[in-house]
Amino acid sequence: MPFDALFVPADVREATGERAWVQAMLDFEAALARAQGDAELADDIASASVPPLTDPSSGSPVPELVASLPDGAHRGATSQDVMDTAAVLVAKRTLPLIDGSLSAIASRCAVFARDHRSTPMPARTLLQQALPTTFGFKAAGWLVAIDDVRWLLRDVPLEAELGGAAGTLASFGDQGLDVLAAVAAELELDEPVLPWHTRRVRIGQLGAALALTAGAVEKIALDVKLMAQTEVGEVSESSAGGRGGSSTLPHKRNPVGAALAIACAHGVRGAASVLIAAQAQEHERAAGAWQAEWEALSRALALSGGAAAALAEALDGLEVHADRMRANLDLTGGLLLTEAVAMRLDRADAKAVVSAAASRASASGRPLREVLIEDGAVSLSEEEIDAALDPSAYLGSAEAFVDRALEAHERRGDGG
Amino acid sequence: MPFDALFVPADVREATGERAWVQAMLDFEAALARAQGDAELADDIASASVPPLTDPSSGSPVPELVASLPDGAHRGATSQDVMDTAAVLVAKRTLPLIDGSLSAIASRCAVFARDHRSTPMPARTLLQQALPTTFGFKAAGWLVAIDDVRWLLRDVPLEAELGGAAGTLASFGDQGLDVLAAVAAELELDEPVLPWHTRRVRIGQLGAALALTAGAVEKIALDVKLMAQTEVGEVSESSAGGRGGSSTLPHKRNPVGAALAIACAHGVRGAASVLIAAQAQEHERAAGAWQAEWEALSRALALSGGAAAALAEALDGLEVHADRMRANLDLTGGLLLTEAVAMRLDRADAKAVVSAAASRASASGRPLREVLIEDGAVSLSEEEIDAALDPSAYLGSAEAFVDRALEAHERRGDGG
Amino acid sequence: MPFDALFVPADVREATGERAWVQAMLDFEAALARAQGDAELADDIASASVPPLTDPSSGSPVPELVASLPDGAHRGATSQDVMDTAAVLVAKRTLPLIDGSLSAIASRCAVFARDHRSTPMPARTLLQQALPTTFGFKAAGWLVAIDDVRWLLRDVPLEAELGGAAGTLASFGDQGLDVLAAVAAELELDEPVLPWHTRRVRIGQLGAALALTAGAVEKIALDVKLMAQTEVGEVSESSAGGRGGSSTLPHKRNPVGAALAIACAHGVRGAASVLIAAQAQEHERAAGAWQAEWEALSRALALSGGAAAALAEALDGLEVHADRMRANLDLTGGLLLTEAVAMRLDRADAKAVVSAAASRASASGRPLREVLIEDGAVSLSEEEIDAALDPSAYLGSAEAFVDRALEAHERRGDGG
Amino acid sequence: MPFDALFVPADVREATGERAWVQAMLDFEAALARAQGDAELADDIASASVPPLTDPSSGSPVPELVASLPDGAHRGATSQDVMDTAAVLVAKRTLPLIDGSLSAIASRCAVFARDHRSTPMPARTLLQQALPTTFGFKAAGWLVAIDDVRWLLRDVPLEAELGGAAGTLASFGDQGLDVLAAVAAELELDEPVLPWHTRRVRIGQLGAALALTAGAVEKIALDVKLMAQTEVGEVSESSAGGRGGSSTLPHKRNPVGAALAIACAHGVRGAASVLIAAQAQEHERAAGAWQAEWEALSRALALSGGAAAALAEALDGLEVHADRMRANLDLTGGLLLTEAVAMRLDRADAKAVVSAAASRASASGRPLREVLIEDGAVSLSEEEIDAALDPSAYLGSAEAFVDRALEAHERRGDGG
């Protein structure tokens, strides 16, 4: 793809490229030979040299591949057996790379959660400041989401495919089930109940899990880019090596990692929609919906890897500006804490009294603190008012939730 | 929706309609009151009368609902707590209805698999006849897919939502976690690690699982409509009560159930794409992506129910024409079994010999049987040739796979 | 749909609801009778009373409708003729309502463009302040986009459908083309070259145009919600009647209209994706993809209307805070204008000199102005430096572009 | 992409690959220099050697490209100017290649329409035979769709992009509009009213037009694969050179071109959905949605080209089996023509009489002809009955529609 090197890490690009597919196809053919007891043939297959596959005349690259293999190879298999098992092997080999970045993201989120467990900042609903929260609480939410999607990815069964021309393994006589089991074991893949030539639930599930993964990554990237806004300034991506800079606009610190992660997430959704829509496959092999999966799966994997890697890098170098978080809390002159003040008033109309004070403060531009002190209906001392207006004193269960999230993360282990 | 009554069963329509949402919202508010120890208030909430909710000025229907509730209701909650928990309750109540239809589909597939374990029919790849299979094998594949998606649906955690204005449960002081646990317990929902106001993995996962469910249903419907073609004639949907008929074209037997199921599946995909794309939600509450979920979730549930119900009805009345399956196997004059003949020939060039015979048969329009008998290179008796050309004798592991699928279905139980 | 009243204006809901569909179906049947010269029958059809249509047994609501019509109605037509023409009539009647809101949006944008042609504010790239622009320029960009999509909507041909059971108009003998022409004329619809039972380009084009419309609306709503952020504060939606307020958080001014518009845009995309994917329809009438269009088209229309109406209301009451725009420009202490300073320096390394000054200013937190004055390499007087740091003096063609946009808007007229 | 060579023709691959993008970027930079009167610089840019662009640190490949250019290049432009104009140039150069295949498809459809204007075949609704039609009529419908989408593609304005860092062309002083006009003229692109950095209607429109194009192609491919079914046999793709064959199943004639076209169409939809969803771009340059367009646009173009080329090849070698079309018409023993018989009966209950006869024929398996002859209520001679049962005599306006479609095609010219 144009400019793929900007979006997808080299190892993920390699693991999802045509050479990785061809290697996986050879691995299938070798496993098939071995499953039929022909270790020598399997070795010959493994060392076969395969030219670029470019012949569309059969609608799949398999016949051209098989033509490069020694006699006896591919016995009993159909093209779709090769492609489907290769697809699953490509996934199996790429998913750990993606998970590596997800694990790095989770670790950074855990550090943020721990370090900033009590760092106050504004919670924002509909992009308006609402009440105080802590940056650790925000990061704890990110962490849970990342662990959730890691689990979803691990939960997708990766099954070997072997059915022969009609899915019945006819040419193996009564040995079919044994060969299938041996191929699956050889490749360390799950064994399906029966061939899945047109039962694409797992491919769709994998696509969906990748889209959800990219979505979880995108949510964090979205928060990062919003917090990095010039007017908000609560975080900055690293500027090491000129990253995120602009030659013409030297003051800029662009959230480049967040932007790339979001861009990748868009692409994953597009590719995943192809995989999800491709379930409707005719009879025993589809004419179109199946062939559409190869690119879509490759891209869903590659761009999920890109999204995760870009966010991991963004978080790795992320500078957290606790002072700006605190300053932003003060932007509304205490209005953020009217609820906290009202809860300390011991009168039935507490909410109305404080709301009225807040309105006066808002209209006059004066700090709520001053207006409250003057307000005869507010029976609180200055010290009590200051305590009520302290964001750190109105965090509810934020810190307890952080602890729960960190415990859950520990419990799940690095396996997501 | 226009003509919803044609697509969605009445119970599913009711379970996903506005009244069901409002009831779920009341259930949340009642549970919240009860969780705070106010059973009387909870009872008052439960019996509150709620007018139609039409005021968009706050961007959610909750303030208008709360205005109908007794004083003290909604204490500590935010609008999103109400809507999110209601969404999950709507899902929790609709999923069993969908699963009822899926269970009916699975049962019919199991019957087909068992009854037609050995009923030969053509396997078709790229819509061309390939080799013989059995209808039971085809139905067994359908069965596994349905059981797979039932499992996916059951696997989606359905968590209560309670976080208050900022997600921190600030107004509960240090009682927040207890109230959350009590609300979840009261509603028999899972308790989240922390509030999920903008951690939408589970909503997306539910949308994806519904899309995959609809896709599994659609695959079966696709096979049904292809098998029901005038020229194929292997199955017919029931014509009881004039169903599928046409007043102007009395000979027609339209696969109406299959068509409606497929139509619903298209709609589910559209709705699910909204849910999957809506993960990118800003900060602590989104301005747009969250509000988009309510309709999308309702439609994804309703149309999944519609898809499953329409297919269940189609399969329930499905007539299976084993004679047409057999006749279709003969359409190519035995060419379907060249592989079977070749495997019985004891010579290195067996495949080439039989291919040549097949080509001659194909070109001349004569049955392969005759051409083989005349062929000196084919050292088989007439009886051996007939045996090789018997579709039932070249089914490989089809029947064994049927047995595996039925066993797996038993093992999974009716819970998918 | 649940809570539709919050998202979709009443007139748009009505125009896309089942009753509007049924009316359009009756209009088709009446036009068909009239086209065959039977005005009396046409009148009887027009006054027929139609019960709720709930019978799925034919896969469409038409047979049940026809059963309510006088004898002789529906002669020569097929169910799809009725549904397709009704779909087009529903679109024809809803599009002006949507355009009404788009026209209101365009008018407001034009007012903003004119009134704020020279109101400086920061341009933001990757959400970082970049250079000065004007609010009028931003609004002019919105205006062009809205006019573009209005044009796209008007460009979609709305064709009558009449083909009979096979698309050949067989039962009309050699009168088919005349009847088709008469029906189209009667309903003031375009006449197709030939029936479009499975040529769905125009339906897909309509879906795409609605998605692009919703997207153009969403872009504006996105800018509004970003500008309305507490920390940015450049615009506020109206708070008249408590709109956008929060009972527990009295300081909030939620961008409710923007949020609803964005939510609707998500829904339109989902519905449009169904219409775009539904082009693959089998032979002369599809089993599934066609039936999927009815809901999708209704929702795409309804939610486009909702998106446009919500944004129109948001813009109608929008308060523009020019003072905050100006203040935001100063947030970086002049760094935004380093390019403007460099362009006034007459030396080869001007850019490097000013960049270095900017870095020093940035590191020390001092205003760029002071640093520049002290910098011996900057051969500018204080007055020249002040002029260079004046945002209004570095707007390039912003105002000229505003004029072009307003002229183009005039030229296009209210027809988009 | 893995196996791209199977799906996308070499020229389209090249036109959408990274080298084509880089060339388009250079073309923009050269045009910008020329627009500023520096022809020498433009020549130097044109001959610059550009290394692979792999640096993600700025979030776009432009800074790395500019670093390879002579001093003075890129003056006044921003990265997005380069990328957006390059995107449009890539589209401008690829669209004629796609149109070449669409033109070939249209020509073949026109030939089919003309040659088979009167070749009877069954029309099929919900995949059931309905009434007779002609293959020419079917092909005429394909033709109109292809011409429609060619027109949609040509209708997308392709505008140059030039706005500078903020869209205001600030660094050009008051020369901005002139430079913009000159760049557009130099590159033979449309000139925008104002820069479209975040006004993405045209990119979305292009994506939508490509998806609709792929959909029109897919509809034809769908019909081809259905007609090519073993049991239908009305068309076959060419088997020249072993195309569509299967080594293990020598009787197969797989509809390979149709399958590849459909696979590509799936991919185009996925890519187009990214482009349509990417309209929501923040402020003056987006952080994510914009960067997502590059791959999506490249793939939408490449796979549209692949879809069109695969179908063009399929149609080019398509064998039409008029005898099988005729034989299929007879499969129902005349039931397809009950409507035609009824119309010749001069009695009020004609339809009921013929329906009853049809039911008896259907139940007994006897030809309708015989049943009608015996039926006292059917006052037609054997000759009249034969005439009524002649499919060619009940084609309505099919042939007239063919003529209209061919005329419309002529009128539109080869430009779609």
Determine, for residues A396 and B172 on separate chains, whether the beta-carbon distance falls below 8 Å.
yes
Tell me what the mean pLDDT of segment B377-395 comes to.
94
Q: CB distance from A263 to chain D under 8 Å?
A: yes
With a CB-CB cutoff of 8 Å, which residues 81-120 of chain C face chain A? Answer: none
Q: Which two tokens stand for residue C405?
A: 């946009």
- Which chains contact B through at least 3 pairs of Cβ atoms less than 8 Å apart? A, C, D
Contact A367, A361 (CB under 8 A): yes
Shortest Cα distance, chain A CAs vs residue B169, angstroms: 5
CA distance C220 to B200: 25
Instruction: Indicate which of C50, C266, C281, C316 best probes the interface with B, i.e. most B CBs within 10 Å of its own CB.
Output: C266
Question: Quick check: D402 and D140 in contact, CB under 8 A?
Answer: yes
Residue tagged active-site, from D13, D108, D117, D285: D285
Mean pLDDT, residues A175-190: 98
Residue B125 with chain D: CB contacts under 8 Å: 252, 254
C-alpha C96/C-alpha C92 separation (Å) is 7
User: Touching check for D8 and chain A: CB below 8 Å?
Assistant: no
The verdict on a CB contact (< 8 Å) between C225 and B287 is yes
- CB-based contact D205 C273, cutoff 8 Å: no
Average pLDDT over residues B94-102: 98
Residue A241: pLDDT band with limits 50, 70, 90? confident
How many angstroms separate the CA atoms of C7 and B335, rounded? 61
pLDDT band for position A416 (cuts 50, 70, 90): very low
> Tens digit of pLDDT for each residue in D229-281?
999 999 999 988 888 877 667 778 999 999 999 999 999 999 999 999 999 99
Contact status, residue C116 vs residue C170, Cβ threshold 8 Å = no
Whole-number mean pLDDT of chain B?
Answer: 95
Query: Residue C351: pLDDT above 90?
Result: no
Read off φ and ψ for residue A35, nearest 5 degrees: -65, -25
Contact between B126 and D335 using a beta-carbon 8 Å cutoff? no
Backbone angles phi, psi at B130, to 5 degrees: -115, -70
C72/chain A closest Cα distance in angstroms? 41
pLDDT in tens, A187-216: 999 999 999 999 999 999 999 999 999 999
Any C CB within 8 A of D284 CB: yes
* D407 touches C180 (CB < 8 A): no
Asked if residue B405 lies in contact with residue B350, where contact means CB atoms within 8 angstroms, the answer is no
Q: Does A317 touch chain D (CB under 8 A)?
A: no
* Yes or no, beta carbons of C284 and D133 under 8 Å apart: yes
B287 vs A127, A133, A223: nearest CB = A127
**Catalytic residue (one of D246, D379, D381, D397):** D246
**Average pLDDT score, chain D:** 95
Give tens-digit pLDDT for B128-180.
999 999 999 999 999 999 999 999 999 999 999 999 999 999 999 999 999 99
Q: Which residues of C touch A259 (CB under 8 A)?
A: 126
Count chain C–chain D contacts defined by CB atoms under 8 A: 299
Shortest CB distance from B258 goes to which of C78, C165, C287?
C287
- Residue-wise over A337-364: b if at least 16 C-beta within 10 A, else e? bbbbbbbebeeeebbebbbebbebbbee
Chain B residues with beta carbon closer than 8 angstroms to that of D338: 249-251
The contacts of residue B194 (CB under 8 Å, 6+ apart) are A137, A140, A141, A144, A401, A404, A405, B163, B167
Higher pLDDT, D73 or C352: D73
Q: Over pLDDT 70: what percentage of chain B?
A: 99
pLDDT at D149: 98
**CA separation for the pair B79, B63 (Å, rounded):** 7
Interface probe, candidates D125, D131, D133, D230, chain B, greatest B C-beta count within 10 A: D230
At residue A363, does pLDDT exceed 90?
A: no
Which amino acid type is present at position D54?
A: T
- Asked if residue B92 has pLDDT above 80, the reply is yes
Does position B351 have pLDDT exceeding 70, yes or no?
yes
pLDDT tens digits, one per residue of C6-19: 999 999 999 999 99
**B195 chain-A contacts, CB cut-off 8 A:** 141, 401
- Which pLDDT tens digit goes with each residue over D101-146? 999 999 999 999 999 999 999 999 999 999 999 999 999 999 999 9
Interval B48-71 mean pLDDT: 94
Average pLDDT on A216-229 reads 98
CB-CB: which of A176, A222, A339 is closest to B282? A222
Angstrom distance (rounded) from CA C29 to CA C19: 15
Residue of C nearest to A333 (CA): C251
Residue of B nearest to D337 (CA): B249
pLDDT band at A277 (very low <50, low <70, confident <90, very high): very high
On the question of pLDDT at D415 being above 60, the answer is no
Tokens of B300: 């994804």
Q: Kindly calculate the radius of gyration of chain A based on its CA atoms and give it in whole angstroms.
A: 29
**Residue A324: active-site member:** no
Contact B262, C287 (CB under 8 A): yes
CB contact under 8 A, C199 and D145: yes
Find the range with the poorest average confidence among A130-134, A166-170, B375-379, D187-191.
Answer: B375-379
pLDDT at B248 over 80: no
Query: Is A295's CB within 8 Å of D58's CB?
Result: no
In C, which residues are within 8 Å of B295 by CB distance? Answer: 1-4, 7, 267, 299
Inspect the interface and report whether the beta carbons of A6 and D61 lie closer than 8 Å.
yes
Q: What is the pLDDT of residue A247?
A: 62
Instruction: Supply the DSSP symbol for B126.
Output: T
Query: Taken in order A60, A64, A70, A75, is the CA torsion positive or negative?
Result: positive
Distance CA D136, CA D401 (A): 10
A276 contacts B168? CB cut-off 8 A: no
Decide if D33 contacts D42 (C-beta within 8 A): yes
Question: How many CB atoms are located within 10 Å of the residue D344 CB?
Answer: 15
Cα C206 from Cα B170, distance rounded (Å)? 48
Could D273 and A271 be called an inter-chain contact, meaning their C-beta atoms sit closer than 8 Å? no
Q: Which residues of C form the catalytic set?
A: 246, 285
Q: And the tokens for B292?
A: 């988009």
Mean pLDDT for the stretch of residues C276-305: 98
Query: Is the pLDDT reported for residue C416 higher than 80?
Result: no
Which residue, among C121, C124, C125, C126, would best test binding to A if mutated, counting the most A CBs under 10 Å from its CB? C126
Among the partner-chain residues A200, A279, A404, the one whose CB lies closest to the CB of B193 is A404
Candidate from A152, A170, A405 with C-beta closest to B396:
A170
| More confident position, D209 or B47 | D209
Question: Is residue C415 predicted with pLDDT exceeding 70?
Answer: no
- Residues of chain A contacting D20 with CB distance shorter than 8 Å: 2
**Residue found by looking up tokens 């670029």 in the block:** A52
**Segment among A242-256, A311-325, C187-201, C392-406 with least mean pLDDT:** A242-256
Q: What pLDDT is recorded for position C16?
A: 98
pLDDT digits (tens, 9 = 90+) for D313-330: 999 999 999 999 999 999
CB D139 within 8 A of CB B272: no
Which phi and psi (to 5°) does residue A57 adopt?
Answer: -70, -20
Q: Which of A125, A136, A122 is nearest to A398 (CA)?
A: A136
Taking the Cβ of residue B291 and every Cβ of chain A, the question of whether any pair is shorter than 8 Å is answered with no
Q: Do the interacting molecules here have an ipTM over 0.85?
A: yes
Mean pLDDT of C335-355: 89
Q: What is the pLDDT of residues A1-32, one digit of tens each?
A: 899 999 999 999 999 999 999 999 999 999 99
**pLDDT band for position B416 (cuts 50, 70, 90):** very low
Within 8 A of A225 by CB-CB distance, chain C residues are: 126-127
The predicted-structure confidence for A327-338, as pLDDT tens digits, reads as follows 999 999 999 999
Tell me what the mean pLDDT of segment D334-356 comes to.
90
Query: Chain A closest CA to B93's CA: distance in Å?
Result: 24
Please report which confidence band the pLDDT of residue D416 belongs to, taking 50, 70 and 90 as the band edges: very low
Is residue C163 helix, strand or coil? coil
Interface test with chain A among D16, D54, D55, D58, by most A beta carbons within 10 Å: D58
Active-site annotation holder among B108, B285, B299, B369: B285
How far does D284 lie from chain C, in Å, by closest CA?
5
Tell whether D274 lies on the interface with A, counting CB pairs under 8 A: yes
Closest-CA residue in chain C for D266? C277
As a whole number, mean pLDDT of residues B310-314 equals 98
* Of the candidates C264, D68, A257, C171, the residue with the CA atom closest to the CA atom of residue B56: C264
pLDDT, one tens digit per residue, over D181-232 is: 999 999 999 999 999 999 999 999 999 999 999 999 999 999 999 999 999 9
List subunits contacting chain C, requiring 3 or more Cβ pairs under 8 Å: A, B, D
* Residue D235, phi then psi, degrees to nearest 5: -140, 160
Residues of chain A found within 8 Å of residue C276, distances taken between Cβ atoms: none
